[in-house]
Structure formats: structure tokens, C-alpha cells
Structure 1
């Protein structure tokens, strides 16, 4: 480990500011578009409902974009991206990467693939994302280190 203190488990990493912006924008969009649809004169009930439905659909997209997180616990990591969730054991994570210019963290896995972890992204809060990536890397290194075998009697 490179001097990074391990956070207490379980720990959830998520882009807090980005999430707040997306959730606020989703609620505001829903309210404004719905009010426009309800307050416009000359619209029939079906048209008013379509305004509310469209507002809900657009807000739903923003809520999905606010969903990503990475949850680390004693047995592994759960990566929740926009529409997918994947559970990983610590031993499956070979490396945690957040290189300059990366939009989010990538996890190199033991099966040879790389999994994007959108819950740690440098968008609005770069320093927070770097600290979170370092903490997740330290956790992965600490938990995937081979345990000393107990002597057999």
C-alpha cells in the first residue's frame, strides 16, 4: 500500500456533486415541463398527459445518470453503473486505474476484461475522485494480498 489510509468498510464511492446536479436538474425539469403542459391553454387531456409523461421520461434519464456508485465491503465490491450492477470478489480485481483524461475509474479484472466504475469520476470534483480511486486501490491491494496459510497440524 502506498501510504493511503484504508477507509472503514463498508464504504460507498459516488460522485456527490455530479449526483446533486443531476437530481436537482431532473426534479426541476419534471416540474417545469409538467407545469408548462398543464398551464398551456388549448391543450386536451391527452396532450397534457404527454407533457407530464415526457417530463417523467427526461427526468428518469437524469436519475439513471445519477445512479452510479461503487460499494466496497469486506467480501468485495459492487459496481453500480447506469443500468448494470456487478458484484466482484476482491480477488477478481487486479488493478484500479484512473489515468489522466479518463472519464472514470477502470477496474482491470482477473478474467482479462476491464470494467468501468462510473461511481468514481473526476468530472466536477477531480481531487475527490483521485482520493476515492486511491482508497479503492488501497482496499483492493489489502484484500487481494495472499493470506498467509495457517500451519497444518
Structure 2
């Protein structure tokens, strides 16, 4: 992703998420649950315990797909909330030193002021590469604009 940023940062609050990937995962999870549950109800040779087992398995598989559809990055006036598959982390703007999406990266990485790097799965170039690049640029513009708005914030 080039270092040049074109145009002003987007209006806040802004939510970044992999829309196409999310749509595929939610649709697949719902369809999988419906089909397995329907099969469990239509098979006459299954006893009630086996039917419950089918439905429970379908719910478990759908739940995994729904968890995979959860990632997002929400930017607001005070900072960024990064929601990954099973974790959520709130960051102040001053904590974000750099927003990276290099060629070949599976998602955006945020370099933080504590010396760590946080993956932000809400921006991933899997299915929609151009959208992910635009989202990463927008988040980078927001981080640069917001972190310089607070001059007393430490910027190592």
C-alpha cells in the first residue's frame, strides 16, 4: 500500500469489515444449519436423541462460521475498536503508530505505541482486494489525522 493518502479521512464513526466474506460466511452458516436440521427432521429412522445430535452439530458448525464473520474495525472520535474472531480491543488514537497492509498480508496490522503489532481482521484483502486497500488507506488517514490532533500524545 503506497504511503500517499488521497483526499480527507472519512467521516466518523466509520466501520470497516470484509463485506463479501461476511455475506458468504453468514449465508453458508444459515444454509448449513437449515439443511442439516431439515435432514434430521425428515429422516424417519432417527430417534429423538439422534435428531438433537444432528441439530446440535448443525448449530455448532454454523456458530463457527458466524464467529469467522465477526471481525470488524470501528473508528470513532476517541479511538478504534478492533473486533477479531474471539477478541475485542479498544485503542486510543495515540496508541496507533502505523497502519500496515503490505502485499501478501492476510489483513491489516496496527503497530502500537507499546511496541506490539495488532492484527485487524476487519480489513482483509481476501475476496475484495481493492476495498481492503481503500479501507486500510482510510484507517491510516484517520490514524494520522487523529494522532497529530493530540500533540501531547507520545509518538515513538
Q: Could you say which residue in structure 2 is the equivalent of 1:88?
A: 91
Conservation of the 8 A alpha-carbon contact between 1:6 and 1:135:
yes
Which segments of 5 or more consecutive residues in structure 1 lack a partner in the other structure? none
Q: TM-score by structure 1 length? A: 0.94
1:64-123 Cα deviation digits (max 9, x unpaired): 000000000000000000010000000000000000010000000000100000000001
Q: What is the deviation of 1:4? A: 3.5
Q: What is the deviation of 1:37? A: 1.2
Q: Could you say which residue in structure 2 is the equivalent of 1:3?
A: 6
Once the two structures are superposed, the pairs formed by residues 108-147 of structure 1 within 5 Å of their partners are 108-145=111-148, 147=150
| Secondary structure, counterpart of 2:80 in structure 1 | strand
Tell me, yes or no, if structure 1 residue 53 matches structure 2 residue 27: no
Q: TM-score by structure 2 length? A: 0.92
Q: What is the deviation of 1:147? A: 4.0
Once the two structures are superposed, the pairs formed by residues 35-46 of structure 1 within 5 Å of their partners are 35-46=38-49
The partner residue of 1:68 within 44, 66, 71 is 71
Give the superposed CA RMSD: 1.3
| Secondary structure, counterpart of 1:86 in structure 2 | strand
Which segments of 5 or more consecutive residues in structure 2 lack a partner in the other structure? none
Give, in whole Å, the separation in 2 of the partners of 1:85 and 1:74.
18
Q: Could you say which residue in structure 2 is the equivalent of 1:15?
A: 18
Give, in whole Å, the separation in 2 of the partners of 1:78 and 1:147.
19
